[in-house]
């Protein structure tokens, strides 16, 4: 029984046409993001060809020269995956909508 629970896969209740539309929208958003350079080149999350490893390499390459010169270096890393698992309160939705509009997502 434990083996069955470990291999459980949830069913998607989304219809096939909805999934096709969702994929089309995703492709449009990604193209828009690249065309308008919404996400900076230094961004590694949600970017094709980049990962935690490329982020660490870029970080190392940027920080090492400063440390070699004896300069103080501070770093803050944020892990935001849990931030998107709940619906934000209305004011946050308005801020998000305004920012999306600023980047050309209407």
pLDDT confidence band for 87 (50 / 70 / 90):
low
Dist. CA 43–CA 47, nearest whole Å: 7
- CB of 54 within 8 A of CB of 44? yes
Given a cut of 70, whether residue 44 has pLDDT beyond it is: yes
Dist. CA 104–CA 46, nearest whole Å: 18
Where on the phi/psi map is residue 89: left (φ > 0), alpha (ψ -120 to 50), or beta? beta
Given a cut of 70, whether residue 95 has pLDDT beyond it is: yes
| Residues near 77 by beta carbon (within 8 Å), at least 6 away in sequence | none
How much is the pLDDT for 65?
Answer: 92
pLDDT digits (tens, 9 = 90+) for 4-35: 556 666 566 677 888 888 888 888 887 887 78
């Amino acid at each position: 029984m434990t083996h069955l629970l470990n291999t459980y896969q949830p069913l998607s209740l989304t219809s096939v046409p909805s999934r096709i539309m969702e994929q089309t929208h995703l492709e449009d958003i990604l193209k828009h993001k690249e065309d308008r350079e919404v996400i900076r080149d230094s961004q590694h999350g949600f970017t094709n060809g980049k990962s935690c490893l490329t982020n660490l390499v870029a970080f190392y390459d940027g920080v090492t020269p400063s440390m070699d010169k004896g300069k103080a270096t501070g770093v803050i890393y944020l892990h935001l995956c849990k931030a998107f698992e709940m619906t934000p309160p209305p004011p946050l939705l308005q801020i998000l909508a305004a920012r999306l509009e600023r980047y050309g997502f209407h």
